[in-house]
A and B are shown apart, each in its own frame.
Chain A
Amino acid sequence: MKNEYEKTDSVCIRVEDVGKSFGKKQVLYDISINVNYSQILGLLGPSGSGKTTLVKIIAGVDNATRGNVFMLGEKMPKLSAMGNIGYMAQSDALFGELTAEENLRFFAALYGLKGLKRKNQINEVMEIVGLTDDLKKQVKKYSGGMKRRLSLAAALIHKPRVLILDEPTVGIDPVLRKSIWNELYNLKKEDSTIIVTTHVMDEALNCDNLGMIRDGRIIAIGTPEELLEATSSETLEGAFLYYGGKTE
């Protein structure tokens, strides 16, 4: 039944009326988003807007107070679905004492990769993020940008069908940022579905769909072109200001 549902449905990730409160403080209000297969959804918003909380709930590492998330036809959180997600957290969740290789081996093992396959995957993802020469280096000796790239490598290690990346390009130079976006397009071509959060307006233009978040609410959603057109503004910043102003 579930497989059939998955095939016939073009929606990969369905967020339904998700709300989240920490104690009395509500941080997310009635969020509903659909992400189709092989799409890149950008979540654009200032820090403190609730982006991270939202992607954590989608990735299954935080619990929603209300509402549901469905992914690949499964209701989240579900372990079988989590095996198909590559999650990159906002903080570089790496073990500083270990080398990059040991870090990746650990994360690969969590997804059941072993032996030669694991070795090949490690080499491949390190190639993508441009860290092949630093494979045997202890992570605590990495710079901030290198840690960010290694975090991305760890998220890609098991060729996940869904990628959830929380601020993946913070502290990364423009050349490398471009190559990371190229890689995201490649993954999209190979049928990966991707959610990216960012607070950089330029970067958001790269996404197929864009959700603007402010104070825990989705203030606008659509393709970047649609959003620009509807607000008759030249930049996403202008569009954000238009929608942000409207809610007050």
Chain B
Amino acid sequence: MRVIAIVVRILLQLKHDKRTMGLMIVAPILVLTLMSFIFNGNVYHPKIGIINAPILFVNRLEDKEASVVRLDENNSEESLNLFEVDAVIDFKSGVPNIRLEGSDPAKNKAVLSLVQNIMHPFSSFETDITYLYGYENMSSFDNFGPILIGFYVFFFVFLIAGVSFLSERNTGTLERTLASPIKRWEIVVGYLLGFGIFTIIQSALIAWYSIEVLDLMMVGSFALVLIITILTAMTALSIGTFISAFAENEMQMIQFIPIVIVPQVFFSGLFDLSTMIPLLQIVGRFTPLWYSADALRNIMIRGKGWSSIAFDVLILCIYCIFFIIANILALKKHRKI
């Protein structure tokens, strides 16, 4: 009964606070939209300056959609300097001499692989390419979009739950609530359910928008995506309320972001860590976001079912329960029973 009182109160508070509610939904959608524009998967076509090259080579460059500019030795350096071209190619005794502008590794790579592709004798053979998962021209947004969904749900729920529980401590409403015959677990569970109902709506909207509007790659089950995002939200909620016990004000709560959230992003799979020291890679296995990201990728990109995400679900549940208990114990600071 008292759990329901807390749930109703939290939902009413959210109803009155339209700005917070709007931000929780609009902010992730805005950032995801921007990310999808930036990482839209279009291949970069390098701009190449030619001083002296066989006509066949130039034709092939143009076949590959590179923009080719004719230069001479006098103005080639200036063109590089002014970013008119990414590289200058000059054939000397049959060997291409490539001079790169060089400040952007991605562009360097694009030029070099293009030239190698043309020069390599086997490149003219047809190769048969098949994909186990993914597809040709899969964009990088498709690859890390699932991680971002998990991340934004985690980030915003962590912050909102933490700050709102903190203000309950500071305004004395928590103490006032504890002066009633409520049990400590009823407060924690009430919080979890109250915000939980809201985060179900929030994560469903974010996931739906990413998949349907932003056309994020999705070959698995939407229900499974929802289960994972809701579990992620619950974990963020219980961690956020727990962390709020260690912050004295909202500012300090924000200062916990670099400690609690940023490292999780690094280990979440957003960056390829396979070249990292194995010992450090293991650190990632201790962050809840890793399991959320792993499960979302398996569902959305690889179309996998329940059996391959069951372990992730288990770990997220363990995190959740661990911090729920920690929260209940942390309230002992205010009231022994």
The chain A residues found within 8 Å of chain B, CB to CB, are 56, 59-63, 77-80, 82-83, 85, 87, 89-98, 102, 105-107, 109-112, 138, 154
Contacts A60-B179, A82-B180, A83-B181 known; A91 to B171 CB distance under 8 Å? yes
CB of A60 within 8 A of CB of B175, answer no
Contacts A60-B335, A89-B175 known; A95 to B13 CB distance under 8 Å? yes
Q: B4-12, B39-47, B66-74, B303-311: which one contacts chain A?
A: B4-12
Contacts A60-B335, A82-B180, A97-B17 known; A109 to B175 CB distance under 8 Å? no
CB of B16 within 8 A of CB of A109, answer no
Alpha-carbon separation in the docked complex, A77 to B176 (Å): 14
Contacts A98-B12, A98-B13 known; A107 to B180 CB distance under 8 Å? yes
Alpha-carbon separation in the docked complex, A80 to B181 (Å): 7
- Checking A80, A93, A102 against B175 with a beta-carbon cut-off of 8 angstroms, the contacting residue is A93
CB of A97 within 8 A of CB of B13, answer yes
B171 contacts across to A, CB distance below 8 A: 91-94, 96
Q: With CB as the reference atom, state the residue of chain A lying closest to B9.
A: A106
A154 contacts across to B, CB distance below 8 A: 176
Instruction: Find residues 1-60 in chain B having any chain A CB closer than 8 Å to their own CB.
Output: 1-2, 4-5, 8-9, 12-13, 16-17
Contacts A77-B337, A78-B337 known; A93 to B172 CB distance under 8 Å? yes
CB of B9 within 8 A of CB of A87, answer no
Query: Can you show 20 pairs from A to B with CB atoms below 8 A apart?
Result: A61-B175, A77-B335, A79-B183, A82-B180, A87-B176, A89-B172, A93-B171, A94-B171, A95-B13, A95-B173, A96-B171, A97-B12, A98-B12, A98-B13, A98-B16, A109-B5, A110-B182, A111-B180, A138-B16, A154-B176
CB of A94 within 8 A of CB of B177, answer no
B13 contacts across to A, CB distance below 8 A: 95, 97-98
The 8 A-B pairs of least Cβ separation, nearest first, read A93-B176, A109-B5, A110-B180, A93-B172, A87-B179, A83-B181, A91-B172, A97-B16
A92 contacts across to B, CB distance below 8 A: 171-172
Q: Does B178 contact A (CB under 8 A)?
A: yes
Q: Mark B151-190, 1 if CB is under 8 A from A, else 0.
A: 0000000000000000000011101111111110000000
Q: How far is the CB of B277 from chain A (nearest CB, A)?
A: 42
B173 contacts across to A, CB distance below 8 A: 93-95
Q: With CB as the reference atom, state the residue of chain B lying closest to A97.
A: B16
Alpha-carbon separation in the docked complex, A111 to B5 (Å): 10
CB of B336 within 8 A of CB of A109, answer no
- Checking A85, A105, A110 against B177 with a beta-carbon cut-off of 8 angstroms, the contacting residue is A110
Q: Does B334 contact A (CB under 8 A)?
A: yes
For B2, B173, B181, B334, the residue with the greatest tally of chain A CB atoms inside 10 Å of its CB is B181
Alpha-carbon separation in the docked complex, A99 to B178 (Å): 21
Alpha-carbon separation in the docked complex, A91 to B176 (Å): 10
Alpha-carbon separation in the docked complex, A111 to B181 (Å): 7
A78 contacts across to B, CB distance below 8 A: 337
Alpha-carbon separation in the docked complex, A93 to B172 (Å): 5
